């Protein structure tokens, strides 16, 4: 049996230049800054400009991760991009990003919505442990402002843009625990694109298809089922909540995070990601964005045990414990 293990070597991020406060969102959805903050924790979010594309934001985040890791792009032999907002059916965003980074080898996208980054980390870990790759770049990126209706009361204040990346590489000791993951297609109506592209075109629709969500049902599912999944991930890693240093849940909504913390009985000393407050919910990008920030601000330190968990449309979810690089 192979003894080769995998760990995260570096994390990077890219945040859109334009910071949009609640006051810019509220009129179109008959809401208020107070309501949005109280229901979600969000104060501002980043909306990407025309020149901040899925590809350009990913390249910037990946270059940041490579720099931190001290690894050149030419040493990367697989690029995995998790996104639902690369609006070109083919080729995959990963191939364009790989070309700009000068990486060699495989490049492909995965579609697991908000859970995509954690799926990518699981794939990267097993590709490296199995000997199929040496350095895998995992990127979570979204430009959700392209597929969110500014007049939809249930989503317009939540979704946002950005990119985060992690370089995963070989290691003597395990730095990524086995993933706990799954999906529940029977509830896939809860978060989805409102109509498929063909229907939109044939009906003469001029507006882009956009995301719709049944907020209350998503809230209940995420808060309770995901606390159980998070506990399972700790069990698979062979640690208890007392041994955890950092909790990086998908930045879906601060109230979901609070409910999960209570359900898991997380000790108060565990540092919790709250990137959503000024970044919004960036779907596949939210976990690496939040982790990058915690590392930068000294809240997550090298060697810390961090529990990552992400969940969303599908309903797809994935969780694992990683060692902070
Ligand atoms: N601004 C102001 N009021 C709003 C509103 C908005 N954007 N959206 C709904 N409301 C009002 C409704 O009109 C209703 O008012 P009423 O009680 O006078 O009839 C009230 O708020 C409750 O509406 P409801 O649709 O039940 O909202 P909610 O309490 O479920 O809150 C969310 C909506 C989206 C904040 C909440 O469901 C939620 O957090 N869901 C999880 C979403 C999430 O995190 N998704 C990401 C997963 S990847």
Q: Quote the pLDDT of residue 318.
A: 98
Q: Has 253 been annotated as catalytic?
A: no
Residues in the ligand 1 pocket, defined by CB under 6 Å: 29, 31, 35, 39-40, 114, 153-154, 157-158, 213, 215-216, 218-219, 222, 252-253, 255-256, 281, 312
Residue 114 known to be catalytic: yes
CATH topology of domain 180-323: Peroxisomal Thiolase; Chain A, domain 1 (3.40.47)
Q: What fold is seen in the domain 5-171?
A: Peroxisomal Thiolase; Chain A, domain 1 (3.40.47)
Residue 22 designated active-site: no
Per-residue pLDDT at 207: 83
Confidence (pLDDT) at 8 = 98
Preceding omega of 91 cis (within 30 degrees of 0): yes
Q: Which atom of ligand 1 has the smallest separation from the CA of 219? A: 41
Q: What is the pLDDT of residue 176?
A: 98
pLDDT for position 243? 96
User: How many Å apart are CA 179 and CA 199, to the nearest integer?
Assistant: 36
Task: Tell me which residue has its CA closest to atom 12 in ligand 1.
Answer: 153
Residue 3: predicted pLDDT = 83
Q: Where are the domains of the chain?
A: 5-171, 180-323
Give me the pLDDT at residue 284, please: 98
Same fold, 5-171 and 180-323: yes
**C-alpha of residue 143 to centroid of ligand 1, in Å:** 23
pLDDT at 224: 85
Return the pLDDT at 1. 52
Reference 320, options 287, 298, 292; nearest CA is: 287
Ordered mean pLDDT values, 10 residues apiece, the chain (325 residues): 87 98 97 97 98 98 98 96 96 98 95 98 98 98 97 97 98 97 96 92 86 94 92 97 97 95 95 98 98 98 98 97 98
Whole-model pTM above 0.75? yes
**Residue owning the nearest CA to atom 30 of ligand 1:** 216
- Sequence-ordered list of residues with C-beta below 8 angstroms from that of 1, at least 6 positions apart, any chain: none
């Amino acid at each position: 049996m192979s003894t080769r293990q995998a760990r995260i070597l570096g994390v990077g991020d890219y945040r859109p230049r334009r910071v949009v406060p609640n006051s810019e969102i509220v009129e179109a959805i008959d809401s208020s800054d107070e309501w949005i903050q109280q229901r979600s924790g969000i104060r501002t979010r980043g909306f990407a400009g025309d020149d901040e594309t899925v590809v350009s934001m990913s390249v910037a985040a990946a270059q940041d991760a490579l720099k931190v890791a001290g690894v050149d792009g030419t040493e990367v032999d697989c690029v995995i991009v998790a996104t639902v907002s690369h609006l070109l059916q083919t080729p995959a965003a990963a191939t364009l990003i790989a070309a700009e980074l000068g990486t060699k080898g495989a490049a492909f996208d995965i579609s697991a919505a908000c859970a995509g980054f954690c799926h990518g980390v699981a794939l990267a870990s097993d590709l490296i442990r199995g000997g199929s790759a040496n350095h895998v770049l995992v990127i979570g990126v979204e430009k959700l402002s392209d597929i969110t209706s500014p007049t939809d009361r249930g989503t317009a204040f939540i979704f946002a843009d950005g990119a985060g990346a992690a370089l995963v590489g070989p290691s003597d000791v395990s730095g990524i625990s086995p993933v706990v993951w799954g999906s529940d297609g029977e509830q896939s109506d809860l978060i989805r694109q409102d109509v498929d592209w063909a229907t939109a075109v044939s009906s003469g629709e001029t507006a882009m298809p956009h995301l719709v969500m049944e907020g209350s049902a998503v809230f209940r599912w995420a808060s309770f089922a995901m606390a159980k999944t998070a506990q399972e991930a700790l069990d698979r890693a062979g640690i208890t909540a007392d041994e955890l240093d950092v909790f990086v849940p998908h930045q879906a909504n601060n109230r979901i995070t609070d409910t999960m913390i209570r359900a898991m009985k997380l000790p108060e000393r565990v540092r919790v990601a709250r990137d959503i407050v000024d970044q919004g919910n960036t779907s596949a990008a939210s976990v690496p964005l939040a982790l990058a920030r915690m590392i930068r601000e000294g809240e997550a330190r090298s060697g810390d045990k961090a529990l990552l968990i992400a969940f969303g449309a599908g309903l797809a979810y994935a969780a694992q414990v990683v060692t902070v690089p």
